[in-house]
Structure 1
Amino acid sequence: MTPLAVNSPVSGRVVPLTEVPDQVFANAMVGPGLAVEPDRAAGAALAPVDGTVAALHPHAFVVATEDGAAVLVHLGIDTVKLKGEGFTLHVVKGEKVRAGQPIVSWNPADVEAAGYAPICPVVALDAVAETLEPRQADGPVGAGEVLFSWRR
């Protein structure tokens, strides 16, 4: 089976999940993946894969592929406390999306100014670390570029 390319939802610097200032992500309790320390510019977080929006909150979303692979994108840490302020949704739950399609607009600089870490974990749900082939961590990535491949 061809590995699933999981694309970065935002532009920035790739970092390992262990650098996320939240133990649930840092310890891969949700699943394996990578994080992106985003550029501090307003813009849209993009769908990481083709699929259906399985969960949607202003600060986080899950896109599930046709074969059941689900990818979580979390825009910042503890950003649920912003109660949606500063986030604009472009899709609805249950909508089919294409990789690279804008899902949520936000401004990482505003998140940081509000006292929250804008880092973005990108997690392969219900996966094991050995099935992921990450790109080189600690380097630049553009929104829509491959972040990791997921062998399913």
Structure 2
Amino acid sequence: MTTVLAPVAGHVVGLAGVPDPVFSGGLVGPGTAIDPARRAGEALAPIDGLILKLHPHAYVIAGEDGRAVLVHLGIDTVLLKGEGFRPLACEGARVRAGAPVVAWDPVAVASAGKSPICPVVALDARPGTLTTLLAAGPVRAGEELFRWGGGYD
């Protein structure tokens, strides 16, 4: 069982609340999404593991068991070319759940015309292997978001 923590504080809206059909349709994988608090802060590691990919606006962390979690800071934020984001860790680094990975500003993202909603996705998770701990409502960064049991592809 892998416990996935909220990388940012805000309001859980679920993947259906993501204004991007790739995420809202579950094409990337199952998970949830957080509409972040509108203040600059840090996005945290959702699990213990190795940072496989780190872009200013998104990162993937893989645990010892091979399970990987994607955190995407906003929608279409790749188009901002790093503006409003500052990596605090390095690709290839080992991190503990709750460690800061990226500093970012959701207000700057929204001011640039992009949605700051943050999908948190269990990559390659089989259907029915996630247990939602919080389907909707407020969440603090570092709180349990969902659990990933069973297998993965």
- Same topology, TM > 0.5: yes
How many equivalent pairs are there?
A: 150
What's the counterpart of residue 93 of structure 1?
91
Contact 2:134–2:146 (Cα < 8 Å) also in 1:
no
What's the counterpart of residue 26 of structure 1?
24
Counterpart among 90, 106, 109 of residue 108 in structure 1: 106
What's the counterpart of residue 144 of structure 2?
146
Paired AA for residue 82 in structure 1: L
Alignment of 1:3-152 (within 5 A): 3-152=1-150
Distance in 1 (alpha carbons) for counterparts of 2:61 and 2:25: 22
* Structure 1 segments (4+ residues) deviating >3 Å: none
Paired AA for residue 134 in structure 1: T
Contact 2:71–2:121 (Cα < 8 Å) also in 1:
yes
- How much has 1:137 moved relative to structure 2? 1.6
For residue 75 of structure 2, give the secondary structure of its aligned residue in structure 1: coil
Paired AA for residue 17 in structure 1: L
Identity of aligned residues (%): 59
Q: Aligned-residue CA RMSD in angstroms?
A: 0.7
Contact 2:70–2:123 (Cα < 8 Å) also in 1:
yes
Deviation digits for residues 52-92 of structure 1 (CA, Å, limit 9, x no counterpart): 00011000000000110000000000000000111110111
Distance in 2 (alpha carbons) for counterparts of 1:105 and 1:142: 16
Point out where structure 1 has 5 or more consecutive residues left out of the alignment.
Answer: none
Contact 1:46–1:101 (Cα < 8 Å) also in 2:
yes
Deviation digits for residues 11-33 of structure 1 (CA, Å, limit 9, x no counterpart): 00011101100010000001000
- How much has 1:5 moved relative to structure 2? 0.5
Contact 2:13–2:33 (Cα < 8 Å) also in 1:
yes
Paired AA for residue 73 in structure 1: V
Contact 1:76–1:117 (Cα < 8 Å) also in 2:
yes
